[in-house]
Amino acid sequence: MRTVPLRGPSAPTEPDPDYLLSAAAVRERCAIVLSAAEREATAHFRIVPQRLADVARRIAEVTRRRYPDLGVPPHSRWRHFTVGGVDRAALVAPQADRDERARAKIDLAVVSVLLDAGAGAQWRFHETETGQRHARSEGLAVASLRAMERGLFSADPRQPWRADASALAAITPARLGEALQHRPDNALAGIDGRALLLRRLGAVASGSPGFFGREGRLGRLYDHWLPRRAALPAPEILRDLLHAFGAIWPGRLELAGVPLGDCWRHGAVPGDGLVPLHKLSQWLAYSVIEPLREAGFVVTDIDGLTGLAEYRNGGLFIDCGVLELRDPGLAAQVLAPESEPVVEWRALTVALLDRMAPLVRAELGFDAARLPLCGLLEGGSWAAGRELAFARRDDGSPPLTIASDGTLF
């Protein structure tokens, strides 16, 4: 992919880039694609709405099984750090005060989430400290935490629990691959793209003191948000993250010189045709909320964020038959992330998660306060999508195959 500025005589009337860098734009543009699908006006998927109730029951059943007391925590990277029954979050900066521990947890959340693109079906991480082996998102979570514990992302050997611009800018595929146990017989998809993303992250952090301080530390976002400790809306967290990290994404669309990140085109959207999805950035927003709350922040409007346009939630809707391919041959192809079938699938996933929320709440007897959207994801839809993928395919792969560069899914 390459950067394509949306300018010139053939370009549509340009929207406000700040709007496209918002959760509201994700929700509104994805709803446009869903509306088109319901009118049979989409090229790649048809909706089978009568199957939504079955999906809601499946999600509710998985939620009851995973959380018998129905105390569903929020969906965030922190759930993955406890895989195998180990409270690894307790390892983070254990001697630090409350503010410094929050900075360290934000350091970890940013790096870990940005490394949390599809690992591939074969890769495993062997955690020497526990003897456990983990794959996919959980494996990447444990691997990134152990890499930070060893100081891979810190410019100060005496303070490993940091992620600093100079250390990130020096990351090579070889160094990252060693930390993540990438080898020919244990290949991690997109290792070059992941290393490039971290180097770009270092460059951005060094040049944005308003977000990251003079030292270019990722955890300085905590200080950026500190004046809003009493009331910090989650959509504002996302907006800040999108502006702070926009330049790290390789080969993405720009508008008036502003990188749009996880934003693509779909013919169902009138005018500019742009559909923002911001999957990793929203995953990151959900993941920094927890350390902020632990440090005394009041984070509001969490349901202002959206569901995540990724392959477990999206796979659930295909595997349960809510989404049907108009061309079954697509399932045998390797699809580019920017291709319209993938954009359509991801947009429909976001909009259908909004559609599912009241149905699942009704199954569980909850209201939105008891089961916010992030609880639905955690309870929930992501786990149900994974379970069904393994039931349908031996390696648990998604129903569609997406070419991964290590920076998107």
Q: Can you give the pLDDT at residue 328? A: 95
Q: How does pLDDT run across 365-384, given as a tens digit for each residue? A: 999 999 999 999 999 999 99
Q: Can you give the pLDDT at residue 199? A: 95
378 Cβ neighbours under 8 A, 6+ residues apart: 72, 73, 74, 75, 76, 79
Q: What is the DSSP string of 58-78?
A: HHHHHHHHH-TT--PPPPSHH
Q: How does pLDDT run across 168-182, given as a tens digit for each residue? A: 999 999 999 999 999
With CA atoms as reference, report the closest residue to 301 among 352, 237, 381: 237
Inform me whether the pLDDT recorded for 15 exceeds 80: no
Q: How does pLDDT run across 223-259, given as a tens digit for each residue? A: 999 999 999 999 999 999 999 998 888 778 988 889 9
Q: What is the mean pLDDT of the chain?
A: 92
Q: How does pLDDT run across 323-352, given as a tens digit for each residue? A: 999 999 999 999 999 999 999 999 999 999
Q: Can you give the pLDDT at residue 16? A: 87
Question: In which band, very low, low, confident or very high, does the pLDDT at 120 lie, cut at 50, 70 and 90?
Answer: confident
Inform me whether the pLDDT recorded for 10 exceeds 90: no
Inform me whether the pLDDT recorded for 3 exceeds 60: no
Alpha-carbon distance values, 356 to 157, 192, 254, 276, 359 (Å): 47, 37, 32, 20, 5
- pTM metric for this prediction: 0.91
Q: How does pLDDT run across 135-155, given as a tens digit for each residue? A: 988 999 999 999 999 999 999
Inform me whether the pLDDT recorded for 14 exceeds 60: no
State the Cα–Cα distance between residues 305 and 328, nearest whole angstrom.
32
Q: Can you give the pLDDT at residue 294? A: 96
Q: Can you give the pLDDT at residue 104? A: 98
State the Cα–Cα distance between residues 88 and 92, nearest whole angstrom.
7
Inform me whether the pLDDT recorded for 7 exceeds 60: no
Please compute the mean of the pLDDT values over residues 208-237 and round it to a whole number.
96
Q: Can you give the pLDDT at residue 2? A: 36
Q: Which helix (H) or strand (E) holds 311?
A: helix 311-319
Q: How does pLDDT run across 265-297, given as a tens digit for each residue? A: 999 999 999 999 999 899 999 999 999 999 999
131 Cβ neighbours under 8 A, 6+ residues apart: none
Please compute the mean of the pLDDT values over residues 1-25 and round it to a whole number.
62
Alpha-carbon distance values, 335 to 11, 42, 345 (Å): 26, 17, 11
CB 407 within 8 A of CB 193: yes
**Region of poorest pLDDT, from 162-166, 204-208, 216-220, 248-252:** 248-252
Question: In which band, very low, low, confident or very high, does the pLDDT at 405 lie, cut at 50, 70 and 90?
Answer: low
Q: Can you give the pLDDT at residue 131? A: 96
Question: In which band, very low, low, confident or very high, does the pLDDT at 1 lie, cut at 50, 70 and 90?
Answer: very low
Please compute the mean of the pLDDT values over residues 312-317 and round it to a whole number.
96
The percent of residues in the chain predicted with pLDDT above 90, rounded, is 85
What tokens were used for 91? 């390892």
Alpha-carbon distance values, 102 to 149, 229, 313 (Å): 15, 13, 29
Please compute the mean of the pLDDT values over residues 76-87 and round it to a whole number.
94
